[in-house]
Chains A and B, each alone.
Chain A
Amino acid sequence: MFKRFSSVLDECLVALSRGDTVEQCLARYPRQARRLRPVLTLATRVQASPRVAPRVQAQEQSWRLVRERAHQLRTGSRRAATRTVVSAYGGLLKPAAVMLGAVLLVGSFSGGLAYASQDAMPDSPLYSVKLAGEDVRLWFVFDDTREAEILLDQSNQRVEEIRGMVSQGKTIPSNVLSDLHDRNERASDILAEKPQETGLRARILTQAQQQEDLLVALWPQVSDGARGTYTETVAFLHNTQLGGGSGAAVSAVRPEDLLGGILNISGQVQQLENGNWSIGGVEVNVDDRTIGNAALEAGASARFVVARSSNGRLQALSLIGGLLGSPDSGGSSAIVSGAIESITDEGITVGGTLYAFSSSTVRTQSFKTGQKVQITVQAGNAGNSPIVQSVKPAAVSGPSSAQVQAFTFEGTIEGDVSRSTNEWMIGGLEFQIADSTAVDATAGDAKDGARVQVEAINDGGDLQATRVSVLATDAPANEVSIIGKFEGFEDGVWIVAGLPIVPPDSIDDPELDALVSVETERVGNDLNATSLVVVETAEQEGLIRMQGTIKAIDGTRWTLEFGQVRVSSTAEVIGSEAGVGQRALMWSEPGVDGQLQAVYVRVLDDQSIVTSIIGNVTPTPEP
């Protein structure tokens, strides 16, 4: 019969305490002997460890206090008299006193301070009162199953508080994560003793999945001081799923496996000779700690949530939405950036289009009309409307005086990046792979010579990639393009998003703070501009930036995940001839008829990326 290791260990520890030797225990469990031996040996060493003795003087001084107090109680001080009365009516009054105490305690938590604390958020001084009140409630629950249910409710309450903090633009502190972890653990402990509670088990599993999905999406919002608690919490939620409801999985993810951040990597999976897997060219450990790995097959494409350890080792946590192209893959995603026209609980309107929220939409702060945001939308399968995955403030692309500038870069990977998870050399520039970077390698492996588009920020000279997408194009390695704010002309070079570009004599300087797209030729360390397009002037600012996969083209009307855009002859179109299945980056504005009108379009792929990946595509109409 299968026995959990912790139970086997416990039985051996009991046997040791009765005088058995380690060898006798190991003989009873030969299959677990290799794991048991070091733990049992350690336990015996700890047991043999001498106690720390108190100082005699301190012990005697304390005894005098205790003896004096005992004397007061014996000789009938007021407090002692009260106790004597209670004692005299022992069996009758004690339960009554306990009940009275309970009522008073619960009463105190139902009024005054407790009332004030009931809506307290984790950054409130009253939050600990709120948590204490929740504990008090559990003291009077005598049914284990009911207690587990309440613990799970309280754990969900923590999730709502986390959502609340994030929606106000606040970082997530450790106290709420710690309590979330604690209540989940207590519920799991109860379940471990009640295997017959299948409904409870199902709820714990579902809840663990939902909570892990949310928390991995919120890594950037976790305060630095809470990272340790965060990794413990996510590891527990993950292991709960692996263990079928208990946090003690046979193969478990450790908190330290997540200390380097959470990445999203999508691409074709291949098994390597060393037993590891490659996802889109990046070496990742995919094993029985990866949820959904059973569906995996070499050659398939999939999206993964990947944990990065502090030393850069990658461990796939879960496969998202099944294999790409399968009915449950969830369709492709697209990104829309622009100013909010309206926002309600139902959705957000940008560029005249309403994007609907779902229960799992992550909003990283409280947004207001006019604020610039970046929305990630996921195309629905079978004609369903796209849903919003996340809304966050748009990457900075403000005035040229800003320290941090967002830009889009296109270049070629230089060198082996399969195991290098911290910095990638692309188009002659070193980009940091941040702790929440997304790598989209569905169109081909990320490898030496691969053409990629990088969405990045320039933070005082540090180039941090927020998203790297491998492109289906064979552009020459010395061709590099940059889309960013024009910051001026200094010492004979243009500065675009903080990067120096050598201008040609034939092109005039654009206006300061204009958003420009510059094609360059790389010569040594120099980027020599060959052409420049002003996407948006500083006065015009207000265009909608969109990137997605073309699903249909009907004359000038293109359909992408986020809706339809008119690409007329007035739009500046750069790149290959557009076709279904290719990705496009565009800036648009609402036309007089409300239809989005493209101003600048960059077709990113030379040919359709794997059509099975993007789901429902409509064939390009014959001309």
Chain B
Amino acid sequence: MRVAIWAPELTRSIEEPRPAGQPAANASANPAVQPKEEVLAEWELVRRAQQYDEDAIQAIYTTYYPKIYNYAFMQMGDVQAAEDLASDVMLKMIEAINTYKFQGLPFGAWVFRIARNRLIDLHRRRKRRGEVDLSETMSSALANPQVLAERALERGQIQVALKHLTPEQRQVIVLKFIEGFDNRSVGKILGRSEGAIKSLQHRALAALRRILQPDKI
């Protein structure tokens, strides 16, 4: 069984945006940076939710259910499965919210970590049962991936274009460019280092670009 752990060793401060053109600061050389205001404000909301304040829980739910649904749909391409996963994650979130400890990262990173773990569980269960991975089916069914992916992007159906990426590349694209997490948060969600996320996002964008028609991007 996979267990979602938000372990103390994951405690790190988030990175302040750098001035334009300046290189990334070495983490060890920049150990203490303050969390953003919206992160702190959200932490106040979470503290109320930890007391089971219904308004706070509803605010969190209203914020994160659509995000998790969107994330799940981008990964699985299946409305029903995405709804089930979003609902499951919301239940897990409320049951475990008392274990959440603020570590300077957005609360969303913790929620998405739960979602990512549930997604892995789901894939494993499906694989054990011999079910066909929907994303693979969709990918292989596309007669001309380049053209269809390009059309999908034009129509805003990015999930179709994402089917051609590896699961990890898909996760990075969604978390980084659609959900707007910074590298550190994406790293925590996926259990990877910040450097790995930089490299992954490069590979993911390069792969996405390869399947699109170069003259249109």
Any chain A CB within 8 A of the CB of B195?
A: yes
Given contacts A65-B91, A190-B193, A192-B196, whether A10 and B209 have CB atoms under 8 Å apart is no
Convert A182-217 into 0s and 1s, putting 1 for each residue whose CB lies closer than 8 angstroms to a CB of B: 000110011011000000000000000000000000
Q: Which residue of the partner chain B has the closest CB to A50?
A: B156
Query: Which candidate, B29-37, B38-46, B66-74, B107-115, is the interface stretch facing chain A?
Result: B66-74
Question: Which residues on the A side are within 8 Å of B65 (C-beta)?
Answer: 54, 59, 62-63
Interface residues in B97-137 (C-beta closer than 8 Å to A): 98-99, 101, 124
Residue contact B83 to A51, C-beta cutoff 8 Å? no
Residue contact B201 to A42, C-beta cutoff 8 Å? no
Given contacts A42-B205, A46-B208, A105-B3, 6 further A-B contacts (CB under 8 A): A14-B17, A15-B20, A47-B178, A49-B178, A51-B70, A66-B94
Residue contact B198 to A7, C-beta cutoff 8 Å? yes
- Residue contacts A-B, CB under 8 angstroms, 29 given: A11-B24, A13-B176, A13-B201, A14-B18, A39-B209, A42-B205, A42-B208, A46-B158, A47-B177, A49-B153, A49-B156, A51-B66, A53-B70, A54-B66, A54-B70, A54-B83, A55-B83, A59-B69, A62-B65, A66-B87, A67-B58, A69-B95, A70-B94, A74-B52, A94-B101, A189-B195, A189-B199, A192-B196, A192-B199
Residue contact A248 to B193, C-beta cutoff 8 Å? no
Give the interface size bracket for A toward B: 35 or more
Given contacts A38-B217, A51-B178, whether A189 and B20 have CB atoms under 8 Å apart is no
Residue contact A63 to B58, C-beta cutoff 8 Å? yes
Residue contact B57 to A67, C-beta cutoff 8 Å? yes
Residue contact B195 to A52, C-beta cutoff 8 Å? no
- Where the two chains meet, the residues of A that have a C-beta atom closer than 8 Å to any C-beta of B are 3, 5-7, 9-11, 13-15, 17-18, 20, 24, 28, 38-39, 41-43, 45-47, 49-55, 58-59, 61-63, 65-67, 69-71, 73-74, 79, 83, 86-87, 94-95, 98, 101, 105, 128, 132, 139, 142, 144, 185-186, 189-190, 192-193, 246-248
Convert B142-161 into 0s and 1s, putting 1 for each residue whose CB lies closer than 8 angstroms to a CB of A: 00000000000100101100
* Closest-CB distance, B101 to chain A (whole angstroms): 8
* Closest-CB distance, A294 to chain B (whole angstroms): 26
Question: Which residues on the A side are within 8 Å of B199 (C-beta)?
Answer: 6, 189, 192, 246-248
* Closest-CB distance, A125 to chain B (whole angstroms): 9
Residue contact B3 to A54, C-beta cutoff 8 Å? no
Given contacts A50-B156, A54-B65, A63-B58, whether A186 and B90 have CB atoms under 8 Å apart is no
Interface residues in B182-217 (C-beta closer than 8 Å to A): 182-183, 192-196, 198-199, 201-203, 205-206, 208-209, 212, 214, 217
Q: Which residue of the partner chain A has the closest CB to B7?
A: A139
* Closest-CB distance, A90 to chain B (whole angstroms): 9
Complex CA distance for A14 and B25, rounded to whole angstroms: 13
Given contacts A38-B214, A66-B91, A139-B5, whether A186 and B20 have CB atoms under 8 Å apart is no
Complex CA distance for A476 and B153, rounded to whole angstroms: 62
Question: Which residues on the A side are within 8 Å of B196 (C-beta)?
Answer: 185-186, 189, 192
Question: Which residues on the B side are within 8 Å of A247 (C-beta)?
Answer: 199
Residue contact A52 to B83, C-beta cutoff 8 Å? no
Complex CA distance for A41 and B217, rounded to whole angstroms: 6
Complex CA distance for A51 and B202, rounded to whole angstroms: 22
* Closest-CB distance, A17 to chain B (whole angstroms): 7
Q: Which residue of the partner chain B has the closest CB to A188?
A: B196
- Where the two chains meet, the residues of B that have a C-beta atom closer than 8 Å to any C-beta of A are 2-3, 5, 7-9, 17-18, 20-24, 50, 52, 54, 57-58, 61, 65-66, 69-70, 73-74, 79, 82-83, 86-87, 90-91, 94-95, 98-99, 101, 124, 153, 156, 158-159, 173, 176-178, 180, 182-183, 192-196, 198-199, 201-203, 205-206, 208-209, 212, 214, 217
Residue contact B192 to A132, C-beta cutoff 8 Å? no
Return the contact of A38 from the options B66, B79, B194, B209 (Cβ within 8 A): B209
Question: Which residues on the A side are within 8 Å of B69 (C-beta)?
Answer: 52-54, 59
* Closest-CB distance, B45 to chain A (whole angstroms): 14
Question: Which residues on the A side are within 8 Å of B18 (C-beta)?
Answer: 11, 14
Residue contact B17 to A18, C-beta cutoff 8 Å? yes
Residue contact A193 to B156, C-beta cutoff 8 Å? no
Return the contact of B20 from the options A20, A51, A105, A185 (Cβ within 8 A): A20
Complex CA distance for A3 and B9, rounded to whole angstroms: 29
* Closest-CB distance, B204 to chain A (whole angstroms): 10
Complex CA distance for A59 and B62, rounded to whole angstroms: 9
Complex CA distance for A561 and B181, rounded to whole angstroms: 62
Residue contact A193 to B194, C-beta cutoff 8 Å? yes
Complex CA distance for A185 and B98, rounded to whole angstroms: 34
Complex CA distance for A73 and B95, rounded to whole angstroms: 8
Complex CA distance for A186 and B190, rounded to whole angstroms: 12
Give 3 closest A-B pairs by Cβ, nearest first. A189-B196, A74-B52, A62-B87
Given contacts A54-B83, A63-B61, whether A28 and B94 have CB atoms under 8 Å apart is no
Complex CA distance for A87 and B199, rounded to whole angstroms: 40
* Closest-CB distance, B114 to chain A (whole angstroms): 13
Question: Which residues on the B side are within 8 Å of A51 (C-beta)?
Answer: 66, 70, 178
Question: Which residues on the B side are within 8 Å of A86 (C-beta)?
Answer: 98
* Closest-CB distance, A416 to chain B (whole angstroms): 32
Residue contact A46 to B159, C-beta cutoff 8 Å? no
* Closest-CB distance, A88 to chain B (whole angstroms): 11
Residue contact A67 to B54, C-beta cutoff 8 Å? yes
* Closest-CB distance, B128 to chain A (whole angstroms): 8
Q: Which residue of the partner chain B has the closest CB to A37?
A: B217
* Closest-CB distance, A26 to chain B (whole angstroms): 12
Question: Which residues on the B side are within 8 Å of A20 (C-beta)?
Answer: 20
Q: Which residue of the partner chain B has the closest CB to A192?
A: B195
Return the contact of A73 from the options B22, B94, B158, B177 (Cβ within 8 A): B94
* Closest-CB distance, B15 to chain A (whole angstroms): 9
Residue contact A10 to B198, C-beta cutoff 8 Å? yes
Complex CA distance for A67 and B205, rounded to whole angstroms: 39
Complex CA distance for A33 and B82, rounded to whole angstroms: 39
Return the contact of B24 from the options A5, A7, A61, A189 (Cβ within 8 A): A7
Return the contact of A69 from the options B5, B20, B91, B182 (Cβ within 8 A): B91
Complex CA distance for A61 and B82, rounded to whole angstroms: 14
Question: Which residues on the B side are within 8 Å of A128 (C-beta)?
Answer: 124
